[in-house]
Amino acid sequence: MKSSSDLVREYIAHLRVEKGLAKNTTAAYERDLTRFSAFLFDQGIDVDRLDSEHLFEFVALLRGKGGGSPLAESSISRAVVAIRNFYSFISKEENFLNPIKEFTPPRIPKRLPKALAIEDVEGLIANALREDDLITLRDVALIELLYATGGRVSEITSLTMQDISKLGEGESLSIRLLGKGGKERIVPVGLFAQRSLDQYLIRVRPALVAKAQSNFLFLNARGGGLSRQSAWTIIARAADRAGLTDHVTPHSLRHSFATHLLDGGADIRVVQELLGHSSVTTTQIYTLVTIDRLRESYAQAHPRAQF
């Protein structure tokens, strides 16, 4: 029997080459399985001798048992799914009975996504701009586009010039986003985001692209593509200047996009398509937010409301 580390390498290669999973997804699997492989080695457990009790011990370690830093429940659940998929693969490749086929990942509580108030989004955008720093026109365009499209930060930072429609007087703008599993979608862009993007493309990007001739839409100060980490930093700094006390991330803007559309009466199927969700069930979590707001408004406004 091959070592667990060798089998992990084979499985990751399988995910990359044959399954064609996204780079970030594959990297997450590799981190989880490398940690798991180290656990097997430390415990002296052969890869084909794992059982549910061993896996419960591993989950306990991920939760901080033994003094380590605990992982979030969502990360633990993802790790268990990675291990189950790993064993489904290697048990067939190495011809042994899958010992954890019936193991159920730990349930995690479903948390409602945190959406920003509309005035907080406006404050975030306003505080991204600094008059003494021209490149902040890029930061405003980035935030506007994240909120206008509901795109994931990886989708927005990977945009190229070919992914946006031609900007022109009186023309509407749309962008092509490449989502999970290579699924493409076309998303319209509102006027505010169009104007901000126009300002960036005219006043900032030409000087940046001259440094490296990159084809990415959003560029860093050296002319290369803007990273996801830089996008997070841009939003965190703008949130700090705006005095927003909650943890604000690019995903906060995606949540806000979906929630505000549904609050405004958009059809859930339309929101599903705009977000790039493969199932409407994923999108329905945002309807819970909207119902809570309706309930709150009802309780405040109706003279005989009692909840």
Active site (catalytic) residues: 152, 180, 251, 254, 277, 286
How deeply is 271 buried, as exposed, middle or buried, from its count of CB atoms within 10 A (0-12, 13-18, 19+)? Answer: buried
State how far the Cα of 188 lies from the Cα of 10, in Å rounded to an integer.
41
Contact (CB, 8 A) for 149 and 175: yes
Angle between helices 73-93 and 4-14 (to 10 degrees): 90
CA dihedral angle for residue 297, residue 300, residue 302, residue 305, rounded to 10 degrees: 100
Residue 199: CB atoms within 10 A of its CB come to 18
